[in-house]
Amino acid sequence: MRRTASLLALGLLLLHLPVLSGTELGTDQVMVRYPAGFTKLLVVDLAPFLTQPQLSEGVIEPLTAASHPLAGIVRTIGLLRIPPERVSWVAHGEGPDVTGFSLIEGPPFAQTFGALQGLRAAAGAPGSPYTHWDLETFETLSVVFVGGVFGPVAIEWAYIPIEGALWVGTEIAFQPGKPSVARLRATAEKIVSKLLGQRGSGSMDELLIGVQVRGGQAAFVRASAPDERFLEAGEQAMGFTLNVAGDQVGGRFVLRFESEEAAIAAADRLTSGSSPYLAQGIYQAQLVNVQCTGRVLVLDVATGLRGLVGLLLLVMPF
């Protein structure tokens, strides 16, 4: 009875969690903006995490210390002096054969392109870590390539400013290794082709799960691969959406398995408390509810800001 009452209380908490802002993250609508080849997507309503001290300290700072891709987006916003209130949301997509690309939705072209022009003076200046700044035209769009050496790390960026958004691709290598400029350029070309609506660019898969994890302050979708750190046996695809209220976080996961038997086995591990979706080192959560329908599991969990950070590090590590 005590466990039942506890789960009921957690369920009521999830149902009544207030949201940070009025933004509804249309995860599926972001997925279709990424070309084929991307298999993971994280979308975040970033402004509250930058402007609310509790969230900045509890989420952004630890992600920055761990060099998470979301921290790279935050650095870009600061470097280009984009006001947080001009950012509607941000996204970061990755795939096995493409450069990771971030999308910052909101800032106007004049602002981002002007700020990128300001980086030109830093390239090659005495003592500057930036080594080059190159402006090229892909089809009809401007692409700025910037590179440099920052301590033991060499970094190459591709910036694609368009009206109302900025795309940023990043390749990193620890010296004496070199970032893959060829992959960066090839992925930038794929992004440009998608932006121009050219045939053959395709889009990300798993749109069905993307629809089911709309909303919240953070949402994630992936086509699951065997080497994932956060995985159940037989999982084909996974997505989640997170709602944050103070230091409390409610999450809803949608998972598809290769068979009904694999889904049932995963549900059993969830209810017994032995599933990686609940406990895996830096990520800890308590199960609120689980539903199994054929090959699909839908589960609700409750965690805190530390659990949110751990979850983001597990599904999209540096």
237-315 has which fold? Gyrase A; domain 2 (3.30.1360)
Grade residue 24 by pLDDT with cuts at 50, 70 and 90.
Answer: confident
Separation between Cα atoms, residue 318 and residue 301, nearest integer Å: 25
Q: For 141, how many CA atoms within 13 A lie in the half-sphere containing its CB?
A: 23
Q: Are 285 and 312 in contact (CB under 8 A)?
A: no
Q: Are 131 and 148 in contact (CB under 8 A)?
A: yes
Give the pLDDT mean for 10-34.
Answer: 61
Peptide bond into 48 cis (omega under 30): no
Nearest to 317 by CA among 93, 68, 91, 95: 68
Average pLDDT, whole number, for the chain? 89
pLDDT digits 0-9 by tens, 167-203: 999 999 998 899 999 999 999 999 999 999 998 888 8
Separation between Cα atoms, residue 80 and residue 99, nearest integer Å: 21
Separation between Cα atoms, residue 158 and residue 189, nearest integer Å: 10
Give ranges for CATH 3.30.1360 in the chain.
237-315
Q: Which two tokens stand for residue 299?
A: 């589960």
pLDDT digits 0-9 by tens, 109-135: 999 999 999 899 888 788 899 999 999
Give the pLDDT mean for 240-251.
Answer: 95
Name the one residue in this structure whose structure tokens are 């602002």.
111
